[in-house]
Structure 1
């Protein structure tokens, strides 16, 4: 067998193990706990979303979180 077969098999196996661990720990509450009402209550989610959309937008223009990746910085042709 080639190396690619082993790599693909290992990736698939690790994905299955990660999925099973996520299901057992998070969904089945292996370590106890409950799901918060803010996650399980759809009415709460709808009311919160409605409140966020109703806030007035009075600030300035949108802020660019990472201006370097957007390449919107000013390049000067000569030093000042």
Structure 2
């Protein structure tokens, strides 16, 4: 019996959160505009191109999660 109230409450809270997000971020009920840097695709491509063209001054590429990239060698215990 209480399960349906919990599920209904979760669905209702997600609906309220979504509606609030749309009103504030998309409809701009508090005013303001979307920055040109977000809405202009050409600006985004030029910025990305600039960042990709910078020379590397560091060492070799770094693996973000080295543990998952290790090649584990399992040795046989018997000679």
TM-score, length of structure 2 as denominator length: 0.71
1:74 equivalent in structure 2: none
Considering only CA atoms, is the larger Rg found in Structure 1 or Structure 2?
2
Pairwise CA RMSD: 2.1
Q: Helix, strand or coil: the match of 1:19?
A: helix
- Equivalent-residue separation in structure 2 for 1:36 and 1:52 (angstroms): 20
How big is each residue's C-alpha offset from its partner over 1:39-59, in whole Å with a ceiling of 9 and x where there is no partner?
000000000011111111221
Q: Distance in 2 between matches of 1:11 and 1:31?
A: 27
Once the two structures are TM-superposed, the CA of residue 4 in structure 1 deviates from its matched residue by 2.3
1:34 is matched with which residue? 33
Match of 1:25 in 2: 24
**Number of residues of Structure 1 aligned to a counterpart in Structure 2:** 66
Does residue 58 (structure 1) correspond to residue 57 (structure 2)? The answer is: yes
Structure 1 residue ranges (4+ consecutive) displaced by more than 2 angstroms after TM superposition: 60-64
Unaligned runs of 5+ in 2: 68-79
Aligned-pair CA distance for 1:63: 7.9
Q: Distance in 2 between matches of 1:56 and 1:11?
A: 49
